[in-house]
Amino acid sequence: MAPAQTPALAALCGKLDENIKLIESRLEVEITYRGELFDISGKYADRVSATKVLLENLYREALAENEITRETIHLYLQESALASLKSDPNQQVQIIKTRKAHIKPKGNNQNNYVREVRKNDINFGIGPAGTGKTYLAVACAVEALESDRVERIMLVRPAVEAGEKLGFLPGDLAQKIDPYLRPLYDALYEMIGFELVEKLIEKNVIEIAPLAFMRGRTLNNSFIILDESQNTTREQMKMFLTRIGFGSTAVITGDTTQVDLPRGTNSGLSHAMHVLKNVKGISMTHFSSEDVVRHPLVQRIVEAYEVFDVEQEEERKAKKAAYQALEEK
């Protein structure tokens, strides 16, 4: 690092070196320093290199008088450290520019996702909660609307709770489904502002459309986001994909591990991933627990569920093999 400035160095290290200790625990390295001289050691050379990148980026943040919080460190761990081990250093960062904010993807996978959304008409973002797939889709939609590449934004969601859970809520189906689109609303409010979002909804420039309302429509010059797509059936997914018209971009987000469909009903997202995997003009970006940009515990929770699912599948296969062996006897 360049000759250190004392306040920036203090901000980088944190109170009682709490930032340094957090980095050590997350990257499994040991960090010692005297003044601006840092010594990084560890079992894995790639993690030592990643730590160097991380410290340099955090120091630049401190020089700019930005607060170095645990969240800042976590995001840079994703973006500048662990993710940089897999990324191409010459790859262009896909900055999303909206009037109220410039959004920078966190890590290589998010960067690839944004690039694919800008390049293809139909895009799938598949992975666990907290990976930014829906937030980035909304950001791309706002950017496209503000630059006049599309005429409207459509937010679509399957109404899998259209039985008892939604049936007793007041209003029509669109109003019943409204609370379930809250993450998309929150992103829109952040990027456009509450008042303008409400005005655009009134003018149908931003349209809220339960998936059931999509049948028979052809959507031209639109940016369409289908959220929670793991809860579509095969028929619904096919119906949605064939609504896409000229000048439109569609982003389909979902998590195949959180299907709420009735038992025995196949997920339209899982089916589409298999059927469309080699279709030109359709991109599929797969996120994992490594891409989670929320609280570090979210990443660990996702990983724990993944391990549990693998163990359950292995146990199921072992029981099936044992049962077949008994039958053969």
Average pLDDT (213-239) is 90
CATH number of 6-85: 3.30.1370
Give the highest mean pLDDT range of 184-193, 242-251, 296-305.
242-251
pLDDT in tens, 129-160: 888 899 999 999 999 999 999 999 999 988 76
| Residue 236 pLDDT exceeds 90 | yes
At 296 the pLDDT is 54
At 180 the pLDDT is 67
At 196 the pLDDT is 93
Residue type at position 92: Q
For the residues of 91-124, what is the DSSP string, one character each? SPP--EE-SS-EE--SSHHHHHHHHHHHH-SEEE
> Does residue 67 contact residue 285 with C-beta atoms inside 8 Å?
no
> Does residue 128 contact residue 255 with C-beta atoms inside 8 Å?
yes
- Choose between 83 and 103: higher pLDDT: 103
Domain boundaries, the chain: 6-85, 96-294, 303-329
At 5 the pLDDT is 62
Structural fold of domain 96-294:
Rossmann fold (3.40.50)
At 223 the pLDDT is 96
Predicted confidence band at 85 (pLDDT cuts at 50, 70, 90)?
very low
- Choose between 275 and 78: higher pLDDT: 275
